[in-house]
Structure 1
Amino acid sequence: MKNKTLYSILTAVLLIGSLVFAACKKDNQDAGGTTKVEIRMTDAPGDFDEINLNVKSVVLLSGGKPYTFTVDHGIFDILDFRIGTSNPDILVASGDMPSGEITEIRLILHDSGNSIVVDGQEQELKTPSAQSSGWKIKLKENPELVPGITYSLLLDFDAAKSIVATGNGKYMLKPVVRGITAATSGLISGTVLPIAAHPEVLVISGTDTVGTMTDLITGRFTVGGLASGSYKVEIVPVEGFIPAIIDNILVTAGQNTSIGVVTLQ
C-alpha cells in the first residue's frame, strides 16, 4: 500500500513538472518582444487653402491581429505639414506593439470635423467608409519590426490626388496615402560573465543614461531605443567584482551593436 501511494505521488509530481515545463516553453515561444512605433503624417501639396482632418485611429495589422493606435491630437490642417518646411510632419500617435511584420495599415477618421477650404470658403469634406473599415494605406514593402528598436511610420498624404470634386461644388475625400517606415533607434547588447557578477549595465551619451540588469541565467543584456551616435557602457557588478568601462560604441538606427562577451575579474 505504501509503495502504491509513493508511486502515485511521484506520478503526480512528474505530471505537474511536465505541465509547468510546457507552460514555460509556450511562454518563451510567445515572447517575441515589443517595438515602439511613432505614427506621423505629412503632405504633398494640393491646390486648396486647408484640408482639415479629424483622425480617430491608425490600425496596424501584424500576425493576423489588429493593433489600434488611438489619435488624440484633434482636428489639424494636413497642409501645414510638408517635407522640406519647418513643419515636415505631425506626430499623431505612438505606442508599443508586438514585434513582427506589418502587413496592413488602415487610417480611420471621425464621422465629423473633416472639412476643406477652397477660395476662402469652408465646407464639409465627405469621407465615405472612413469611419468603419477605414482606408488601406499602400506600403512599398511590409516592414519587419525588431524588438527594442523604435520605428517612425510616416503616412504621406497626397492632397492633389486625395480630394475629388463631386460635380455639384462639393468635395469628397478618397485618401491616397503611402506608408514609409524607418528605424529611428538602435540597440546595444552583450553578455557579462561570470553570471554571479549580475551587474547593472549603464549606457551613457553625454548627460543621458539608460540602465538595465543582466539576465540571471545567461548574463545577457540588451538596451534599445538608442539614437544613432557614440556611447559609453559602464558595467557595475555586485561587490567582489571589478567594474568595467567600454568607450566609443557606435550605434546605428535599425541595427544591433554587440559588445560581445565581457568577463569581469
Structure 2
Amino acid sequence: MKKLILFSVAVLGLSFASCKKSSNTEGTTRVTVKMTDAPGAYDAVILSVKQVVILSSGGERTVNVNGTPIDILRFRNGRDTVLAGVDVPAGRLQEVRLVLNNTGNRVVINGISYDLNTPSGQTSGVKLKVQDDLTPGIAYTLLLDFDAAQSIVTTGNGKYNLKPVIRAIPAAVSGALTGMVVPAAAFPKVYAIMGTDTVGTVTDATGKFYFPGLAAGSYRVNFAPIAPYAGKTVDNVTIVNGSVKDLGSIAITQ
C-alpha cells in the first residue's frame, strides 16, 4: 500500500500493472500528471503551479502551466485536475518536479486569506522520486493526492508555511472507498487501515468521504467524530482494483 510521502525527502518506487517492464527505449510514452486533494479544514487552498518537470532516462520534459491558480479543495471526493500531459522519451521514469510560483499560494480560513510561505529550496521544484518503466505507446498516469491538512503548517505568529505532503497513486491498479456519515455534524476523521498502513481523510459538509487510490485488500475503517459523538469501526471492507466500494450511510450516535 502506498504511504504518505514528503516531496522533499522521500523516495517511492511505483509499479504500474499497465506499464509492462521493457528495456526498449525507442519511442515515447504519454505521461499525464493529475492532482486531487485529501480534504483539510480550510475554505480554500490556492496553489500557483508554474511548471511540471518530468525526468526519464531518455531525457527531460518541462511543461509550463502558468495558468489560473488552482483551488485544490475543489478537487476531492473523486475529482481531479490535469496539471500536465506530455510525450516523454520511453525508458526509466526517474523524477517528477512541481515548480510553484513565488507568489499566489494562499490559504483561506474563516473567509480570511493568508499567504503561504514556501521553503527556500522550492524554487527548483518540490521533488517526487519515481522509479518505473515507461513503455513506448502505453499511456502512464500519475495521480498526486495533495494532503491539505498536513501540508499547511502554522508558524505560531499568525503565518502559514506550505510543506507539501503528497501520496502518489497508481490509478490503474487501485480501488476507491466512499460512503456517507449521518449526521454530517459528527464531522469525523475517517481512517482506512490495512495491516500497519493507514490512510486518513475527513468528511465534507454533507457527510461524504472518499478515498482514492487504495490498494486491493481487506480494510478496517475507523470513524473518529467530534464530541459528543461516539467513534465507530467497520471491519472487513474489501477493496477491489478498478472499482469503488460504497459503504452507504454510516450512522454515528452520541
Using the TM superposition, give the Cα deviation of residue 65 of structure 1 relative to its aligned residue in structure 2, in angstroms.
Answer: 4.1
Q: Which runs of 4+ in 1 moved over 4 A?
A: none
Matched, 1:117 2:111: no
Contact 1:138 1:178 survives alignment (8 Å): no
Contact 1:73 1:92 survives alignment (8 Å): no
Which whole-Å CA distance do the structure 2 matches of 1:113 and 1:65 have between them? 30
Using the TM superposition, give the Cα deviation of residue 83 of structure 1 relative to its aligned residue in structure 2, in angstroms.
Answer: 3.4
Distance 1:121 1:143, change over 3 A: same
Which whole-Å CA distance do the structure 2 matches of 1:164 and 1:51 have between them? 13
Counterpart for residue 263 of structure 1: none
Counterpart for residue 225 of structure 2: none
Counterpart for residue 51 of structure 1: 45
Alignment partner of 2:150: what SS?
helix
Matched, 1:42 2:33: no
Matched, 1:146 2:132: no
Equivalent residue in structure 2 for 1:128, among 102, 105, 119: 119
Distance 1:175 1:73, change over 3 A: same
Instruction: Work out the percentage of aligned pairs sharing the same amino acid.
Output: 52
Distance 1:96 1:134, change over 3 A: same
Deviates more, 1:90-99 or 1:65-74: 65-74
Computing the radius of gyration from Cα coordinates, the structure with the larger value is 1
Contact 2:33 2:83 survives alignment (8 Å): yes
Q: Which has the higher contact order (CA 8 A, sep 6+)?
A: 2
Unaligned runs of 5+ in 1: 1-28, 185-252, 254-265
Counterpart for residue 16 of structure 2: none
Using the TM superposition, give the Cα deviation of residue 64 of structure 1 relative to its aligned residue in structure 2, in angstroms.
Answer: 7.6
Counterpart for residue 104 of structure 1: 95
Aligned residues: 152
Contact 2:58 2:92 survives alignment (8 Å): no
Counterpart for residue 5 of structure 2: none
Counterpart for residue 262 of structure 1: none
Which whole-Å CA distance do the structure 1 matches of 2:31 and 2:139 have between them? 6
Alignment partner of 2:156: what SS?
coil
**C-alpha RMSD of the superposition:** 2.5
Equivalent residue in structure 2 for 1:71, among 65, 83, 90: 65
Which whole-Å CA distance do the structure 1 matches of 2:91 and 2:165 have between them? 25
Q: Structure 1-normalised TM-score?
A: 0.52
Counterpart for residue 163 of structure 2: 174
Contact 2:33 2:144 survives alignment (8 Å): yes
Q: Which has the higher helix share?
A: 1
Which whole-Å CA distance do the structure 2 matches of 1:114 and 1:41 have between them? 16
Counterpart for residue 148 of structure 2: 159
Using the TM superposition, give the Cα deviation of residue 50 of structure 1 relative to its aligned residue in structure 2, in angstroms.
Answer: 0.6
Using the TM superposition, give the Cα deviation of residue 63 of structure 1 relative to its aligned residue in structure 2, in angstroms.
Answer: 1.4
Residue identity in the other structure for 1:129:
S
Contact 2:96 2:127 survives alignment (8 Å): yes
Unaligned runs of 5+ in 2: 1-22, 174-241, 243-254
Contact 2:29 2:90 survives alignment (8 Å): yes
